[in-house]
Amino acid sequence: MNQLQRKILFPTPLYYKDIPNSKDLNKYLFKHIKKWRKDCPEGEAKTNSGFGWHSPTDMNNKKEYKPLIDELFKMAEECNKDYGVQPKLGLGNMWANINPTYSYNKTHTHPNSLWSGVYYIKVPKNSGKLFLEDPRPGPNTHMPRRVDNLPEQLWRVCAYEPKEGRIIFFPSWQPHGVDINMNTEKGEKNWRVSVSYNFIQI
Ligand SMILES: [Fe+2]
């Protein structure tokens, strides 16, 4: 033990999984979400930058989204198991996001929940990475600038390219946001479409 040893303590999990054959599911979901937006154009103002569309948050109570909800519950149980926790889970709320060109989501957390995450339905090129910030206050305020080429576990901000058909889960207290959508194709071609959700203990 006369060489430097390192343990990584208090890790923060980021879970992800791709739904097999998600193309048909995404087509189906996109069709329903577009109709929902038409019926309810005002949506809700949350962390989106003002000109994206954020649906009402009762998506979990709409039967047309059951195919996705079933996949989310499956994955939530897998996350519980991997993380070694056993709360009985319910979907607290769930909503759809349509982020057109230049929209983004500011850094935020999801209070009063256990697991939060996102499912990607439509992801044009350069439409914004998901970023997660180091949740610990210490390293953000007391560590000087670090050297380059550090391993991922030591990054202060981790950003990931979205992928259609991918489900992501993280603890709800994990600060996160979405980079600006820089895709400038015409009309709905530039839309970044996703679904977000909060699992709670019931
Ligand atoms: Fe979020």
Span from the CA of 187 to the centroid of ligand 1 (angstroms): 25
Q: How far is the CA of 3 from the centre of ligand 1 (A)?
A: 41
- Residue 128's contacts (CB-CB under 8 Å, 6 or more residues apart) are 99, 104, 162, 178, 179, 180, 181, 182, 192
Per-residue pLDDT tens for 149-177? 888 988 889 999 999 999 999 999 999 99
pLDDT at 47 over 70: no
Tokens 């897998």, residue located = 78
Ligand 1 centre distance from Cα of residue 62 (Å): 20
Distance, CA 193 to ligand 1 centroid (Å)? 14
How far apart are the CA of 44 and the centre of ligand 1, in A?
Answer: 14
pLDDT over 80 (residue 140) = no
Residue 48 — very low, low, confident or very high, per pLDDT cuts 50/70/90? low
3-state DSSP assignment of residue 100:
coil
How far away, in angstroms, is 183 Cα from ligand 1 center? 21
> Distance between CA 64 and CA 67 in Å, rounded?
8
DSSP, collapsed to helix, strand or coil, labels residue 82 as helix
How far apart are the CA of 148 and the centre of ligand 1, in A? Answer: 28
CA of 71 to the centre of ligand 1 (A): 19
DSSP 188: G
pLDDT digit string (tens) for 113-126? 999 999 999 999 99
Q: How confident is the model at residue 9 (pLDDT cuts 50, 70, 90)?
A: very high
> What is the token pair recorded at 9?
């303590």
pTM of the model: 0.94
pLDDT of residue 154: 86
pLDDT band at 23 (very low <50, low <70, confident <90, very high): very high
Among 80, 69, 158, 53, smallest CA distance to 119 is for 69
**107 C-alpha vs ligand 1 centroid, how far in Å?**
8
Q: What is the DSSP string of 128-152?
A: --EEEE---HHHHHHPPPPPSS--G
Q: Rounded to the nearest whole angstrom, what is the distance from the C-alpha of residue 5 to the centroid of ligand 1?
A: 36
pLDDT band at 50 (very low <50, low <70, confident <90, very high): low
Q: How many whole angstroms from 115 Cα to the centroid of ligand 1?
A: 11
CA of 111 to the centre of ligand 1 (A): 10
> How much is the CA Rg of the chain, to the nearest whole Å?
18
CA of 59 to the centre of ligand 1 (A): 15
CA distances to 75, 91, 148, 157 from 145, in Å:
37, 40, 9, 13
- Looking at residues 109-138, what average pLDDT do you find? 96
Q: How far is the CA of 125 from the centre of ligand 1 (A)?
A: 21
Tell me which CATH code domain 15-143+152-201 carries.
2.60.120.620
Spacing, Cα 129 to ligand 1 middle (Å): 13
